[in-house]
């Protein structure tokens, strides 16, 4: 398949223009575009601009409000409860994370929980925002049910990701950004399209039995939580998925479990998020903390390698390397994504 590289800034402008055509104010369109294109920049294509048609569909069909009135329902010096008024998850996430950062600077810690939002893209976008302020950033979100609980067979909880970003100095910052399932559903899709088998450790058929056939997963099966089967402690991934749902959906009084809507369906999603910011200086001098982070990260990188391996990665490292390359050389897209983007461009009379 031929690959076309698109300049990052151009892609960002294009994406923002699409949202502006859908009546999203320029500021909000810019933020949404920033989150989506950052995913492509960081090599997380599953959460990037290839999702544009879905946003177009949802905005055109009033399933997402282009001009929501985000409301602070309850607020203290270190907590926030927000109603997103069914706006774009990216804008809500960005704004609530910024509020959290502000509060954490004054009050050491801030937790912000959000109901009535939408898919917010990569969780890492929000946790990373804290790094510029020398804070630890945390970002969680629930999502439509795709994962079966241990011993279950139906889709009961989302792939509910956890992101944590921690400042360092000489080393790249640690940025965890992980779904609490083993793989996303999109990966199962790719195997199905390529007519390849999946590892039998990833997902279940509609009887709740691990399967190597991706189509069996897509036809009423479910993803397995991180860990997989009970023998391999899959109940831990299931437990983490629940924890994310509790801090996002239940703490905010929004949707949780099977009540969270899918971006593919013609219903309101009511996705819920959780954001946290922690001021290291409330505990110890920032420079000492950063030095220890450098040391911990470095100790992993220089640790003895497994036979046949020549590198140990620390979380976020691969993504930063993608970012550096792609900012310089453009973001590579295959024909399929280019066609998707061209379709969106044509739809709005825009130039890609």
Nearer to a second copy, 67 or 305 (CB): 305
Which 8-state DSSP code applies to residue 306? Answer: P
Nearer to a second copy, 54 or 153 (CB): 153
* Residues of span 121-160 touching a second copy by CB under 8 A: 136, 148-154, 156
Q: Are 32 and 16 in contact (CB under 8 A)?
A: yes
The least distance separating a second copy from the CB of residue 222, rounded to whole angstroms, comes to: 10
String of contacts with a second copy for each residue 73-112, x by CB under 8 A: -x-x-xx-x-------------------------xxx-x-
* Residues of span 309-328 touching a second copy by CB under 8 A: 309, 311-315
Distance separating alpha carbons of residues 249 and 19, to the nearest angstrom: 27
Question: Which residues have C-beta within 8 Å of that of residue 286, sequence separation ≥ 6?
Answer: 134, 167, 280
Which window, 32-40, 62-70, 285-293, 324-332, contacts a second copy (CB under 8 A)?
A: 285-293
Q: Does 292 bind a second copy (CB under 8 A)?
A: yes
Distance separating alpha carbons of residues 179 and 181, to the nearest angstrom: 5
CA 196 to chain centre: 26
Q: Does 266 bind a second copy (CB under 8 A)?
A: no
Nearer to a second copy, 96 or 278 (CB): 278
**What are the backbone dihedrals phi and psi of residue 224, each rounded to the nearest 5 degrees, phi first?**
-95, 145
Measured CA distances, 145 to 83, 128, 157, 207, 245 (Å): 21, 26, 4, 17, 11
Which window, 58-66, 83-91, 298-306, 320-328, contacts a second copy (CB under 8 A)?
A: 298-306
The least distance separating a second copy from the CB of residue 12, rounded to whole angstroms, comes to: 28
The least distance separating a second copy from the CB of residue 144, rounded to whole angstroms, comes to: 15
Under DSSP, is residue 263 helix (H, G, I), strand (E, B) or coil? Answer: coil
Nearer to a second copy, 231 or 351 (CB): 231
> From the list 43, 84, 158, 228, which residue makes contact with a second copy (rule: CB under 8 A)?
228
Q: Is residue 236 packed enough to be buried (19+ CB in 10 Å), middle (13-18) or exposed (0-12)?
A: middle
Nearer to a second copy, 66 or 225 (CB): 225
User: Could you tell me which of 123, 110, 99, 141 has the C-alpha nearest to residue 246?
Assistant: 141
Number of residues lying near a second copy (CB under 8 A)? 82
Nearer to a second copy, 7 or 201 (CB): 201
């Amino acid at each position: 398949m031929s690959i076309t590289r698109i300049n990052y800034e151009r892609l960002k402008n294009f994406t923002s223009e699409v949202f502006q055509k859908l009546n999203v104010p320029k500021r909000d369109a810019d933020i949404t575009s920033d989150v989506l294109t950052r995913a492509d920049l960081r090599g997380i294509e599953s959460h990037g601009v290839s999702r544009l048609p879905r946003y177009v569909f949802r905005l055109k069909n009033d399933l997402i409000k282009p001009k929501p009135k985000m409301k602070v329902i309850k607020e203290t010096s270190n907590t926030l409860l927000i109603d997103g008024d069914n706006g774009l998850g990216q804008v809500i996430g960005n704004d609530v994370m910024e509020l959290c950062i502000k509060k954490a600077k004054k009050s050491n810690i801030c937790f912000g929980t959000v109901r009535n939002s939408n898919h917010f893209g990569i969780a890492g976008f929000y946790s990373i925002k804290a790094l510029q302020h020398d804070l630890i950033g945390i970002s969680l979100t629930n999502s439509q049910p795709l994962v079966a609980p241990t011993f279950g067979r139906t889709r009961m909880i989302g792939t509910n990701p956890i992101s944590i970003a921690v400042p360092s100095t000489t080393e790249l910052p640690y940025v965890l950004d992980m779904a609490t399932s083993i793989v996303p559903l999109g990966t199962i899709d790719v195997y199905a399209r390529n007519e390849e088998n999946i590892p039998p450790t990833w997902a279940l058929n509609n009887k709740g039995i691990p399967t190597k056939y991706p189509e069996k997963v897509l036809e009423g099966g479910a993803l397995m939580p991180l860990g997989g089967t009970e023998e391999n402690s899959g109940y831990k991934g299931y437990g983490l998925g629940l924890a994310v749902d509790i801090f996002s959906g239940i703490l905010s009084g929004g949707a949780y479990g099977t009540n969270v809507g899918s971006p593919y369906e013609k219903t309101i999603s009511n996705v819920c998020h959780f954001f946290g910011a922690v001021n290291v200086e409330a505990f110890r001098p920032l420079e000492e903390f950063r030095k220890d982070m450098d040391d911990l990260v470095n100790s992993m990188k220089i640790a003895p390698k497994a036979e046949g391996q020549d590198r140990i990665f620390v979380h976020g490292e691969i993504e930063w390397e993608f970012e550096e390359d792609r900012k310089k050389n453009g973001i590579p897209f295959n024909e399929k994504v280019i066609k998707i983007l061209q379709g969106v461009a044509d739809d709005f009379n825009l130039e890609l």
